[in-house]
Structure 1
Amino acid sequence: MNPALLPRALTVLLMALVIALSPASAQTRLDKVSFGTNWVAEAEHGGFFQAVADGTYAKYGLDVTIVPGGPNDNNRMLLIAGKLDFFMAANTLMSFDAVANNVPVVTVAAIFQKDPQVLLTHPESKITKLEDLKPLTLFVSKEGISSYFQWLKSEYGFSEEKVRPYTFNPQPFLANKQSAMQGYVTSEPYAIEKSAGFKPGIILLADYGFNSYSTLIETRRDLIDKRPDLVQRFVDASVKGWYHYLYGDNRAANAMIRKLNPEMTDELIAYSIARMREYGIVDSGDSLRDGIGAMTDARMASFFDKMVRARVVRPDIDYRKAYTLRFVNKGVGVDERPKN
């Protein structure tokens, strides 16, 4: 080599070494985040798996581990104990209950604009609206009695005399054509079709005023205070994941779901996604303008008032501590919704 070129070569070598060791390189490291769901992997969690599978979380600087729940797991307790960073809560009633019991968690996004709770009927009963259910025998779970059924009593005058225990076995419903059974719009109608060979009537409670949010993202107050940027990135990436899952190529996410839960067949996953789209479970109402995950003060107040009237929650709790709008309503991902 020409000796005159040595200084330049050394300079280039030193610059490359500096770049390799610089903080900019360190910035490519992803923040490790753990997210616990409230049930085994299923299509109703699909957007979160999508954000892992298609690299959306990574694009937001996150290395996310999804920890599935189940009948013997309590991921919310792990969140409270600091073992998880985020948790998927079932509905707004859980948020109100956290305030009532001084649990230091806050809802930062509502992925489902509509609670998927339904009552299913036999075609022979010719039920077309919620009020038509009053004369029927109603199979309702213990949790349902203490929540949405109290709303049915206070808002629509339903009677507990017509209620029978629902044990997640459809046989009593199938044996009684003048009955209705609780379920989720994304799963139980499919199960009835497969086992009994008929399409049940579907009454979605959200379409009659049961305006709870569902599939909420919760985190601890201390994480919001100490790392708001991390919370924002997790919310935004999760929202993007849900757009991709509903409207894009979701095969990789579904493969992850099937691996964790073999009972989720391709047919059931496709059914669940179709129902989420058809009924606007994820993307409807305020989310059409403000993006998936949207929440509003007015709707929180409305649902709180209904639950107070139904005597499900105490009137003296400060429900506004249950959530924050700081991380939502920014229109993230709305440009990815199909235009047609």
Structure 2
Amino acid sequence: MPYFTLIMKKSRFIVLLVALGCNIPHEDSRLVFTEKQLPTPIQLKGEKLDFGLEFALNPKEILLKDQNLIVAEGKSLQNEKVHLLDLRGQKYRRSVGKDGLGPGEITIGYPLLDSGEPDIFWVYDTQQFKFSAFSIKDTSSLAIRQFKGLDIPLYITSVDWGPNNTLLVNLVDGWVKYFQLNTDGDTIRYFGSWENMLDGRELPQGVKREDLQPNLLASLHQGKIKSNPSKTRFVKAGTHVDFIDIIDIENEEVITVYGPIDELPEFRVSMNQGFQMPAFDLSKLTLKYLDIYAGDKSFFALYSGKSFREISEDSNLNRLFEFDYDGKVLNHYQLDFPLIGFTVDEINRKIYGISTDMDPGIVLFDLN
């Protein structure tokens, strides 16, 4: 599949130049931190919150919006894919997300996105390549508006809302790391190169840098993207590689932070429908950053360090690292619940996590 077909028709000329390797801006700096350089961990004690739910919760993602927790379900449901929980009264409000392909319907309830609009949250349906807006105040389970915004599907791997009704995305193929797009399908800017992620890295035995294709590197470095409230800074954190990109979108600058291990996982090159993909050694593979929160002056990253099979165990529990936007580690928090996601109330200094223990639910951590 030619790379330019992954972008909307209006941008083919720009992307074709990128595919040919023309003038891709490079990352600005590379920082590394180790376990020994981390601050002394601050122990946080979590409290399971009871919202009076009459059903078992299996949370996948969480978003804080106007003192409501928006919680996406991890299990497959016909309807009610996203739950709204009121923090003020600590009660269940309702669920949204009618299953289907029709107007206002979705087939999957995550990732959750915040465009900054009051009382509105978004779901990017990765099965339909569709963005759906839901109102906290509306009583319907349907989305109040939706768009694809593209002439053909855009193979997005990570996305969040940016400034002025734009999106910052990673794509499944091509050397370019980041594209800023508007909802009409125009490319505003592009910057960063996946190839630079191999600088100074030791590849697994038998893997040669010159043989690797961009889609393999993009897949190897997959992870979530989150924007700060003002949409001026973004953070991307790797799921299988312990890296964090700190992104200044206006200046097209990226600081990449590696740690606390700073090494690539073991993998071999496999082929899937004509594309290179990393085949991991599952006996050695561990999860790195499970989730991130980009705040006003700092951001938080949820670190695992365990295999997928061990993710729910109560030993070697998750940690939270807090960084400033220059890449400096500010705080190191040790949690007492296994989490797969979290969000932060910066004003009240509270963390709300979604647990992956035997009784999954919402866990409150107080930073005061």
TM tier, shorter chain? under 0.3
TM-score, normalisation: structure 1: 0.26
- Tell which has more relative contact order, 1 or 2 (C-alpha 8 A, sep 6+): 1
TM-score, normalisation: structure 2: 0.25
Greater percentage in strand = 2
Greater percentage in helix = 1
